[in-house]
Structure 1
Amino acid sequence: MTFQAYLDNIKAKTGKDADDFRTLAEEKGFTRRGTLEKGVKAGEIVKWLKEDFGLGHGHAMAIYAVLKGGRPSLPE
């Protein structure tokens, strides 16, 4: 599965795209101005995404990668 396929599946399941999750992460205090706050661990974000959005581990890690800046989201 490609990275974009992960993002597409997440949007199909939650109705939210990568930019929506960036905004939500900012509101939750995980990021500030698009950058992960110091000390925020992947596990915290994965737990949030699993509990609040029902994402599986792989899909939650894809969003973490977007938030971390390791993988850019592609245009929709």
Structure 2
Amino acid sequence: MTFQAYLDNIEKQTGVTPDQWISLATARGFTKTGTKATQITDWLKADYSLGHGHAMAIVKLLKDRAGLK
């Protein structure tokens, strides 16, 4: 499955677009330096019922587009 396919499936499941994920994560402070992937995946699993692979796709999105380090 391609990265884009992951994002498409996540959007179908949650109704949240990639740009909205960036905004939501930023509002929660998850794009700050030092944020661990586990913090983000725990949030996504709890609040959006995402599986681990899909949650990690959002982590990658944040690294690629929101400056998460």
Q: Which residue of 36, 40, 50 corresponds with 1:41?
A: 36
Unaligned 5+ segments in structure 2 are: none
Q: Distance in 1 between matches of 2:3 and 2:14?
A: 17
Q: Distance in 1 between matches of 2:34 and 2:2?
A: 29
Letter in 2 for 1:67: L
The match for 1:74 is none
Q: How far apart are 1:49 and its partner, in Å?
A: 0.5
Aligned length: 65
Q: How far apart are 1:17 and its partner, in Å?
A: 1.1
Deviations 1:34-72 (A, max 9, x none): xxx1210000000000001000000000000000117xx
Q: Distance in 1 between matches of 2:18 and 2:58?
A: 7
Q: Distance in 1 between matches of 2:22 and 2:33?
A: 16
Cα RMSD after superposing both structures: 1.1
Secondary structure of the structure 1 residue equivalent to 2:22: helix
Unaligned 5+ segments in structure 1 are: 32-36, 71-76
Which has more radius of gyration?
A: 1
The match for 1:17 is 17
| Greater relative contact order (CA < 8 Å, ≥ 6 in sequence) | 2
| Over 4 Å off, 4+ runs | none
Mapped pair 1:58 → 2:58: no
Q: Distance in 2 between matches of 1:49 and 1:23?
A: 14
